[in-house]
Amino acid sequence: MSIETPVRAQGDLRVIDEEGQLIDPNSLPEITNEKLTQLMERMLFTRLWDERAIKWTRQGKLGFYAPVSGQEAAMIGSEAALSPDDFILPSYRDVPQAVWHGWPLYQAFLYSFGHQQGNQIPEGVHTLPPQIIIGAQVVQAAGVAMAFKLRKEKRVALAYIGDGGTSQGDFYEGMNVAGVYRLPLILMIQNNQFAISVPVEKQTAVKELAKKAEAAGIEGKRVDGMDVLAVYKAVQEAVQKAKAGGGPTMIEALTFRYGPHTMSGDDPGRYRTKELEHDWRARDPLVRFRKFLQSKGLWTEEAEQRVEAKAKEEVQASLDQANKYPAMTLASLANHMYGKMPRELARQVAGSGLNADSGVK
């Protein structure tokens, strides 16, 4: 199965090819050498973190986990184009973006455990916890962007969603509000070709998901989601436009997740061919960007080894920190849910068998 047709469809934004060569010297985004190396460092860190998280999930050391390898360019490139004051609204797979935006990694592991403290976002970190309900983050993002507009703040909200999520009602409702009120919202579709096991062509008739933006009267772009510079450039331009009052943008990043949808029993071998996976792995975002940086003298084997060592150390330390975190209690669980605990619930917590100090992992 060939990937040539969908990847090179008219209108796609690409900056570097599979060999790491600039397609057009004028297409390079506004970016410093320091930022270029940071993109590589974060993509490599995320790949190693993902590989360990998959192993740990299989060993029973983590709870819920959605693999990300293959999508690093779409994830890291988009977050890197934001400022710290911009707001991220992630889906359940978009943990890396939230972490690179300031969410502590040990809390991401607590979130995987199902611990309430994982969702306690630190003050000054502008992200919501990962959204499990498909599409709900788009409606929330419209609300966040509306607040920015009403307050006349030069900030944007960026919501992530997968290809399958674009068939949800919340997606259209949030998109419509953004279009009507010209909100500073960026809607990032990571089209990884399969909504769990359903090919994109079987869950929507539109040929390019970015064209769904037309229904809301907003701009839609389609980019090569395996090209971190293309993603960075598209989001950078969308941020500049939104902060200048130009309204929302929808960006479809064509990408591919190598692993299963989640680690909860999904087997991609039942609905994807080896040929398709081989085609997409030939466009691996780390490989092509590494070649680009090496050609500019910005990346070496020593740098790679240094980042790998740091990633292994920090990921292990974060898991250890999460494992040492105090267990939840029934009382703390109830108190986090209510400002004032209802009388009946307070009675149950205090009652026999529901000790307030009972640990809940």
- CB of 34 closer than 8 Å to CB of 281: no
330 and 202 part of one domain: no
Chain centre distance of CA 347: 41
| DSSP calls for 15-38 | SB-TTS-BS-GGG--S--HHHHHH
Residue 352's pLDDT is 43
Tell me: do 110 and 159 sit in the same domain: yes
* Residue 214: count of CB within 10 angstroms of its CB: 13
DSSP string covering 217-241: T-EEEEEETT-HHHHHHHHHHHHHH
* Mean pLDDT for the stretch of residues 192-211: 90
Tell me what percent of the residues of the chain surpass a pLDDT of 70: 94
User: What pLDDT, in 10s, does the model give residues 77-132?
Assistant: 999 999 999 999 999 999 999 999 999 999 999 999 999 999 999 999 999 999 99
pTM of the complete model? 0.92
- Distances from the Cα of 202 to the Cα of 175, 185, 195, 196, 347, angstroms: 22, 28, 10, 12, 51
* pLDDT above 60 (res 361): no
Burial class (CB in 10 A: 0-12, 13-18, 19+), 216: buried
The rounded mean pLDDT for the chain is 91
Query: Is residue 69 located within the same domain as residue 128?
Result: yes
Contact by Cβ (8 Å): 38, 80: yes
User: Both 219 and 347 in a single domain?
Assistant: no
Q: Residue 360: pLDDT band by 50, 70, 90 thresholds?
A: very low
- Annotated catalytic residues are 257, 261, 271
pLDDT confidence bin for 251, thresholds 50/70/90: very high
Which residue's entry shows tokens 């389609």?
222
Mean local confidence (pLDDT), 132-139 = 94
Higher pLDDT, 342 or 56: 56
Residues 52 and 132 in one domain: yes
Is 112:63 a contact under the CB 8 Å cutoff?
Answer: yes
- Does residue 231 sit in the same domain as residue 340? no
Cβ 260 vs Cβ 268: under 8 Å: yes
- pLDDT at position 3 over 70: no
- The per-residue pLDDT for 187 is 98
The answer on 348 and 252 residing in a single domain is no
String of b and e for 251-283 (b: at least 16 CB within 10 Å)?
bbbbbbbbbbbebeebebeeebeeebbebbeeb
**Do 264 and 172 reside in the same domain of the chain?**
yes
Model confidence pLDDT, tens digit, residues 218-240: 999 999 999 999 999 999 999 99
CATH number reported for the structural domain that contains residue 151 in this entry: 3.40.50.970
Q: 37 pLDDT exceeds 60?
A: yes
The pLDDT, as a whole number, for residue 53 is 96
Q: Is the dihedral angle over the CA atoms 316, 55, 120, 357 positive or is it negative?
A: negative
Q: Please report which confidence band the pLDDT of residue 182 belongs to, taking 50, 70 and 90 as the band edges.
A: very high
Determine the structural domain holding residue 181 and report its residue range. 4-325
Q: Residue 6: pLDDT above 90?
A: no
pLDDT at residue 329 tops 90 = no
Q: Is the pLDDT of residue 359 over 70?
A: no
- Asked which of 48-62, 219-233, 327-341 is least confident by mean pLDDT, the reply is 327-341
Residues 276 and 345 in one domain: no
Q: Could you tell me if 203 and 140 lie in one domain?
A: yes
Percent of the chain with pLDDT over 90: 79
Domain tally, the chain: 2
The C-alpha R_g of the chain, in whole angstroms, comes to: 21
Together in a domain, 349 and 265: no
Confidence label for 11 from pLDDT (cuts 50, 70 and 90): low
* Same domain assignment for residues 11 and 113: yes
Contact 28, 236 (CB under 8 A): no
Which of 155, 172, 158 lies closest to 235 in space, CA to CA?
A: 158
